[in-house]
Structure 1
Amino acid sequence: MASTHTTDGASADKNGVPPGKPMSLGTHVLDKGAQMLQSLKPIKQMSQHACTFAVYGQDMSRQIETHHYMTRINQDFLQCAVYDSDDTSGRLIGIEYIVSDRVFDTLPPDEQKLWHSHAYEIQSGLFVHPRFPEAVVKPELENLAKTYGKFWCTWQTDRGDKLPIGPPSLMMSPQEDIQCMVKPELVKKREDKYNISTAAIRGSRTDIMGPGRLNAMADYWREHKKCLAVEVESTEKKKITIFP
């Protein structure tokens, strides 16, 4: 990919490799030793790999393939580390939190605006578990179709950023609405990679239902035709009170 974005000299080269020296022998030894001696318990709790697509809330023409490495905290809450690929060179580009419709309905309206629904993403076959039998994962898909997610993208590798630049971007899920439909070329590229048929997957999910009532505050852009974005601004620092 050619360099498409420049911020303080941090635009990516054609390989998208972050700036820095090659890893030294000492660093390799340290990493191997840590893998053997440290528990890394939170990482080992990641139990699912899901591949789907996401859309930038502030620019829906920008769409990316995402790889979610999911940890289930309980039946109503998951946390995901999101990468731009499932290769060894995959870059951590954000985080997504996923809650059940039951939990989502308890959130304040201003918080609900930041979340998106997953029903269409599941039902359309866009959300898949690569190399995992569809029949085995179907009960999990039925649960996920009733969930909502909040996904912050912290590294915009799709525009060529070599480093995580600027504030996080709030991401949206694909929808049937023409503004938020995934580009066919992205779907085709993934189909070729995993040798899958999105149309066939969609056909096998006709009985998967979303929430009984899709909360109107989710997918905020659909109803209000506006995006929600983070802007960095200078603010006064809170004073520290020192007690005698």
Structure 2
Amino acid sequence: MHTARCIAAVLATAFSVTALTAAAQDSKPQVAPPGEAKAPKTRALEAGAKLLQRSAPLAKFDVYLNGFHPMKDHPEMQVEAHHFCKQVNEDFAQCTLFDGNTTGANLNGIEYIISEKLFNTLPEEERRFWHPHNGEILSGQLVAPGIPDTAEHELMKKKMNSYGKTWHVWNTGANGKSGDSLPLGPVMLAWSFNRDGEMLPNLQEERDTRLKIKTAEKRKKRADLVKLAKPQSGVDDLKGKFGRASHDIPGVTDSRAGGAQPAR
């Protein structure tokens, strides 16, 4: 009981936006939307709104996660995603996605995260939109920059066997490729990397250097979570779609292996 209270205290402190911003390195966006600079009147209106209006729906979006997404229909389109999340209850979280972690970052997507319990209530047709998270966690890809290792480990433990439904609405650039200056085209359903070798290696290396993260070390420290991993839906949906050799991640298996074909 004492341990649980200590972890809760660490999490409460570590998940403050101030603590996270101070510890994590800046990740600046690659594109800026076109338009005139803010006029003095616009800035005055913003200042007045800040004083007089409420922003209650934005409160508690204070858990910062960093990970990677391939687009399900375009696996070679891969992006780093900065998640700012609100844990609504033990089974449901909602996140806003940005292309950076500075004040100039562009909002480029949303993600909903649900527990295995809620996922099991979904009809089969709906499940094809939800990607599994065990590969992201056990590989060390998914991180919570700036918080103590103990708190991050507890957070990842709580997210084991969970699922995410993610839509990217703006291609703001990745892998050295320029993005669109405005949100163009249809929304894109994002997926997760479930095997080593699927992600373009420069993506992770560049992130690790910038945020001062050692993914390989995080992977080792999460080895104790493998025993918690259950087979998940969607692990094999992009198997063989990346055009290069890939290898299984221990503990990451598809619940339909040997059975039905992946949902499309």
TM-score tier by shorter-chain length is 0.7 to 0.9
Give the superposition deviation at 1:220: 3.6
* Structure 1 pair 57–211 and aligned structure 2 pair: CA distance change class (3 A): farther
Give the superposition deviation at 1:76: 0.1
* Structure 1 pair 190–29 and aligned structure 2 pair: CA distance change class (3 A): same
Q: Deviations over 1:152-172 (max 9, x none)?
A: 000111252111111110001
Q: 1:113 aligns with which of 112, 122, 128?
A: 128
2:133 aligned partner, one-letter code: H
Q: Deviations over 1:92-119 (max 9, x none)?
A: 1110000000000110000001110000
Q: Is the 8 A contact 1:115 1:149 kept in 2?
A: yes
User: How is 1:169-184 mapped onto 2 (pairs within 5 angstroms)?
Assistant: 169-176=188-195, 178=197, 181-184=198-201
Q: Deviations over 1:20-40 (max 9, x none)?
A: 111111111111222222220
1:141 partner SS: helix
The size of the alignment, in residue pairs, is 212
Q: Deviations over 1:133-157 (max 9, x none)?
A: 1211222111112200010000111
2:222 partner SS: coil
1:172 partner SS: coil
Distance 2:140 2:91 in 1: 22
Residue segments in structure 2 that go unaligned for 5+ positions in a row: 1-28, 240-256
Q: Does 1:163 align with 2:178?
A: no
Residue segments in structure 1 that go unaligned for 5+ positions in a row: 1-13, 229-244
Structure label with greater radius of gyration: 1
Partner of 1:67: 82
Give the superposition deviation at 1:215: 3.5
Q: 1:204 aligns with which of 221, 243, 259?
A: 221
TM-score, with length taken from structure 2: 0.75
Aligned-residue CA RMSD in angstroms? 2.1
Give the superposition deviation at 1:219: 5.7
4+ aligned runs moved over 6 Å, structure 1: none
Q: Does 1:214 align with 2:231?
A: yes
Distance 1:30 1:130 in 2: 34
Distance 2:51 2:193 in 1: 40
